[in-house]
């Protein structure tokens, strides 16, 4: 079970083993960060800044260093984004449209299944659009989620034009007063230009039908992905003006450290994290928990 300990408590426990802050501490830290996929440059940057901070504050005891490390990492995470909020943006009136994009197999459809349930529980009227008409079984997969969640779905036969599905769903959402429309799209690798264009087209149709929509374009990233996630974020942002990230599969041993670099270079924030395959395995993103996760490797080292 996911532990009820506070972040601070866990961290105290975690770092109790450190006697002093010496170079080997920073070596361990660098390796931990690289091991969490933050990338080499980012790891060096973080570790240099921490060295400075530790010097500046004249920290010697391990208990104090814990706080500095965590503060600094959260600060680094927050630095790049100032006015944005971690929550989702909703339409002032009429349906809110949330478009899901990402490469193959990252967890788009599953995240929609989880999120639809979340909002349905809050009493919202939810509609799903099965606009992945390409991958074998994709429509049926979303349909299973719609049934589980007890929400409605718009679908067409396999291989239909995805934009046509989106169009129909928008019409239905407007005329039948849905609160939220989730649009599932086929996975696509960011270097496939025509597939990226197709996605941009879907987004244009949404905006044409509902001028303020989509209120969110969520890029789903798999936490096990390495440095390529930065390319993904860049290209999907260019094509669809991504508004936030869902980081999935954080229930494994991967830490998704690349989101630090994404945050720094592209100013994209994580809004939700996926922690499993079940309907309630979705959480709002907590920077401090995430930092704890990045840091966790240091226990293993000792």
Partner 1 sequence: MAFEGLTERLQNAMKKLRGKGKISESDLRDTMREIRLALLEADVNFDVVKDFVKTVRERAVGAKVLEGLNPAQQIVKIVDEELTKTMGETEVPLNKSPKIPTIIMMAGLQGAGKTTTVGKLANRLKTEENARPLMIAADVYRPAAIDQLVTVGKQIDVPVFEMGTDTDPVEIVRQGLAKAEADHNDYVFIDTAGRLQIDEQLMDELARIKELANPTEIMLVVDAMTGQNAVATAQGFNDKLDVTGVILTKLDGDTRGGAALSIRAVTGKPIKFVGEGEKMSDLDVFHPDRMASRILGMGDMLSLIEKT
Interacting residues with Mg ion (CB under 5 A): 108-109
Based on the shown chain and the rule CB under 8 A, indicate whether residue 197 belongs to the binding site for partner 1: no
Q: What is the CA radius of gyration of the chain?
A: 21
* CA distance readout (Å), 183 to 113, 123, 154: 11, 19, 10
- 202 to 231, contacts with partner 1 by CB under 8 A? 222, 224-231
Based on the shown chain and the rule CB under 8 A, indicate whether residue 41 belongs to the binding site for partner 1: yes
**From the list Mg ion, partner 1, ligand GTP, none, partner contacted by residue 133 (C-beta under 5 to 8 A by kind):** none
Q: Is 286:253 a contact under the CB 8 Å cutoff?
A: no
In whole angstroms, the minimum distance from the beta carbon of 62 to ligand GTP comes to: 33
Binding mask 152-191 for partner 1 (x = CB under 8 A): ------x------------------------------xxx
What 3-state class would DSSP assign to 53? helix
d(CA 116, CA 247): 17
Indicate the residue among 70 and 183 with the shorter CB distance to ligand GTP. Answer: 183
**From the list Mg ion, partner 1, ligand GTP, none, partner contacted by residue 275 (C-beta under 5 to 8 A by kind):** ligand GTP
- 170 to 199, contacts with ligand GTP by CB under 6 A? 186-187, 189
Sheet strands side by side (includes 152-154): 152-154, 126-131, 180-185, 96-101, 216-222, 244-248, 270-274, 282-284
Based on the shown chain and the rule CB under 8 A, indicate whether residue 253 belongs to the binding site for partner 1: yes
Question: 209: Cβ–Cβ under 8 A, 6 or more apart, which residues?
Answer: 167, 170, 171, 174
In whole angstroms, the minimum distance from the beta carbon of 137 to partner 1 comes to: 3
């Amino acid at each position: 079970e996911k532990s009820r300990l506070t972040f601070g408590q866990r961290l105290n426990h975690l770092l109790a083993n450190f006697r002093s802050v010496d170079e080997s501490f920073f070596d361990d830290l660098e390796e931990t960060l690289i091991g969490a996929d933050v990338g080499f440059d980012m790891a060096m940057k973080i570790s240099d800044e921490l060295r400075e901070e530790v010097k500046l504050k004249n920290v010697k005891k391990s208990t104090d260093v814990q706080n500095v490390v965590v503060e600094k990492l959260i600060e680094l995470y927050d630095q790049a984004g100032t006015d944005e909020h971690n929550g989702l943006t909703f339409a002032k009136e009429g349906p809110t449209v949330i478009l899901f994009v990402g490469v193959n197999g990252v967890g788009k459809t599953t995240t929609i299944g989880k999120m639809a349930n979340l909002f349905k529980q809050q009493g919202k009227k939810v509609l799903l659009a099965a606009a992945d008409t390409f991958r074998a079984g994709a429509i049926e997969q979303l349909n299973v989620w719609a049934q589980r969640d007890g929400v409605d779905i718009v679908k067409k036969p396999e291989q239909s034009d995805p934009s046509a599905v989106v169009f129909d769903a928008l019409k239905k959402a407007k005329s039948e007063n849905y609160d939220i429309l989730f649009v599932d799209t086929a996975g696509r690798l960011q270097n496939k230009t025509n597939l990226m264009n197709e996605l941009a087209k879907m987004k244009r149709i949404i905006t044409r039908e509902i001028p303020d929509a989509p209120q969110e374009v969520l890029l789903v990233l798999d936490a096990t992905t390495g440095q390529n996630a930065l390319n993904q974020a860049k290209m999907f942002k260019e094509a669809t003006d991504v508004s936030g990230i869902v980081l999935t599969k954080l229930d494994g041993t991967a830490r998704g450290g690349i989101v630090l670099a994404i945050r720094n270079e592209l100013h994209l924030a994580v809004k939700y994290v996926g922690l499993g395959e079940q309907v309630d395995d979705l959480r709002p993103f907590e920077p401090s928990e995430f930092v704890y996760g990045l840091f966790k490797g240091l226990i293993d080292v000792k």
